[in-house]
Structure 1
Amino acid sequence: MTTSTAEKATTLQSLHSAPEILRVVNVWDAISAKTVAALPETRAIATAGHSIAAMYGYEDGGMSLGLALAGAKTVVDAVDLPVTADLDDGYEDPAETIRRAIGIGVVGANVEDRLRPFDESVARVAAIVRAAEQEGVAFQLNARTDAIARGGDRPIQESIADAIARGKAFLDAGAPLVFVPGGHQREVVEQLVEGLGRGKLSVIGLPGALPASEYEALGVARISYGPLTQRVALRALRDLAADLYLGGVVPEDTPTLN
């Protein structure tokens, strides 16, 4: 049975508001989506924009909106689960980007502020929220601020304060969640949760991050893994290729996942 876009959006909304942290393992094409979706623990699917761009031969942030949506549609069509997509900065017209994303069945998105001026960043979030409301979908915007990731040489406390200020404004504009990459350390997460509220923060599980269960205890709503999943897969491919060149063979226990 195929679930409607509106139903998937409501499901994702409930997953975000649940007391348990939502773990989303990022994918980049149909087979990676199907492989992750086949696990009984999977409740939703997230695309990684960096990984989709790499699939098409582009640097992160370098592919067109058309390619970003085409990649997301491939994932949506492969699974019957809520799909949240990485849509970079929302492109030229973020409201139209979200309307088009909803049109292909996407029910949530990461959209980054790239440290645009404060008021402009908030206005873009508000435009996305209005567009989703007009489409009648409980679209789950994971509003990303780069206050820490692009903070440069400024003191970390200044970047944290900026992330909280921007995040609170995004929440006030209607975004369900605030994504703060670069802020995965315990002491930073504690401050972000205090500033934004429990169940409002989304983090990325970079190497050196805490286990998801510890973020859950701190009040984090969601954890994703960005391009790291593709990097692990590519390492496995590279290592197998190197072994084959040295005279190895494909392992007998290789599963038929495709």
Structure 2
Amino acid sequence: MSAAVQRFMQLHQQSQPFILVNVWDAASLMLAQQQGAVAVATSSAALAWSLGYADGSALPATELIAAVQRLLRVSTVPLSIDIEQGYSDDPRQVAQLVKQLAQAGIAGINLEDGRDKPEQLAEKITACRQLLAGIPLFINARTDVYLSQLCNADAAVDECITRLKRYQQAGADGAFIPGLTDLAAVTQLHRQLTLPINLMGWPADATHNTLNEAGVKRISSGPALFLQCYNYYQQACRSFLQIEQLEEQALTYAGLNQLFSQPH
């Protein structure tokens, strides 16, 4: 097992949840590392947007692989890659992509069900495990029950439990439930699941202790950091086009260039 995969798996076993910063290019990754990120992951939306594609499986696999290679070149912490639904309906093709990424040196993936039937994701996870044939990789199974409101709110917890148990049997290592912000519901899931739970963003009034009690082991930012960065960029562009002086920032040309000049 590589040191990156081993470290990534260990992070999911800590007593406190760890923060997984989502990145989309070498610059965002290196700045995340500089600020102390213990692991990083791509946001599928942020990565697609940064390369000129819409989110939602529009990113060609060749573009994904090239982007991952650039990220791995500068990464000193475990890197997980969001591959949406695997960019294919064919479990064999999904497994081939996952094996290629694992051999490149990533520590984990996110693989989601979206609006597909749960058996489709289970088949993809099974195919991945079979083709990996012992190559270690953290597979985070994402269900969009909450994010896409796939069922009535009263049935959402039970639907998540059913799906995630199926994904675990197929070989998943983690459970990702974006859109879930109710800690009481998270606690219900935790009582029925043995997988470490991953949420997107901080639930209201949550603390490290309350999250840990609810079984949360990982908090990721999703596209939020990308949106915050580009919201500022949009405002700065507007100011510059109106011939306004841009404000001085703590991050300078010299500082960023020095960061990239360091050996990787």
TM-score of Structure 1 vs Structure 2, range by shorter chain: 0.7 to 0.9
Residue in structure 1 matched with residue 138 of structure 2 by the alignment: 140
Q: Does 1:248 align with 2:245?
A: yes
Q: d(CA) in 2 for partners of 1:46 and 1:212?
A: 22
Residues 94-243 of structure 1 mapped to structure 2, 5 A cutoff: 94-132=94-132, 134=133, 136-152=134-150, 154-197=151-194, 200-205=196-201, 209=204, 211=206, 213=208, 214-243=210-239
State the Cα deviation string for residues 145-168 of structure 1 (Å, max 9, x = none). Answer: 11222234x321222211111111
Q: d(CA) in 2 for partners of 1:252 and 1:44?
A: 26
State the Cα deviation string for residues 167-191 of structure 1 (Å, max 9, x = none). Answer: 1111222211011111122232222
Query: After the TM superposition, which of the residue ranges 21-30 and 217-226 deviates more from structure 2?
Result: 217-226
Q: Which amino acid aligns with 2:105?
A: G
Q: d(CA) in 1 for partners of 2:250 and 2:59?
A: 37
Q: Which amino acid aligns with 1:228?
A: A
Could you tell me which runs of 5 or more consecutive residues in structure 1 were left unpaired when the two chains were aligned.
Answer: none
C-alpha displacement of 1:246: 5.1
C-alpha displacement of 1:121: 2.3
Residue in structure 2 matched with residue 50 of structure 1 by the alignment: 45
8 Å contact from structure 1 (residues 185, 210) kept in 2? no
SS of match in other structure, 1:141: strand
Q: CA distance change for structure 1 residues 216 and 239 in 2, over 3 Å: closer, same or farther?
A: farther
State the Cα deviation string for residues 95-144 of structure 1 (Å, max 9, x = none). Answer: 11110111221120111012322323212112222333x2x432011111
Q: d(CA) in 1 for partners of 2:211 and 2:143?
A: 19
Could you tell me which runs of 5 or more consecutive residues in structure 2 were left unpaired when the two chains were aligned.
Answer: 258-264
Q: d(CA) in 1 for partners of 2:67 and 2:197?
A: 26
SS of match in other structure, 1:257: helix
State the Cα deviation string for residues 53-90 of structure 1 (Å, max 9, x = none). Answer: 00111110211111122222221111121100011101
Q: Which amino acid aligns with 1:69?
A: I
Superposition CA RMSD, Å: 2.0
Q: Sequence identity, in percent?
A: 24
Q: d(CA) in 2 for partners of 1:212 and 1:14?
A: 21
Q: Which amino acid aligns with 1:55?
A: S
Q: d(CA) in 2 for partners of 1:209 and 1:240?
A: 31
Q: d(CA) in 1 for partners of 2:99 and 2:205?
A: 35
The runs of 4+ residues in structure 1 deviating greater than 4 Å are 208-212
8 Å contact from structure 1 (residues 49, 68) kept in 2? no
Residues 5-16 of structure 1 mapped to structure 2, 5 A cutoff: 6-16=2-12
* TM-score normalised according to structure 2 size: 0.86
SS of match in other structure, 2:163: helix
Query: After the TM superposition, which of the residue ranges 183-192 and 44-53 deviates more from structure 2?
Result: 183-192
Q: d(CA) in 2 for partners of 1:98 and 1:165?
A: 25
Query: After the TM superposition, which of the residue ranges 188-197 and 9-18 deviates more from structure 2?
Result: 188-197
Residue in structure 1 matched with residue 86 of structure 2 by the alignment: 90
C-alpha displacement of 1:209: 4.7
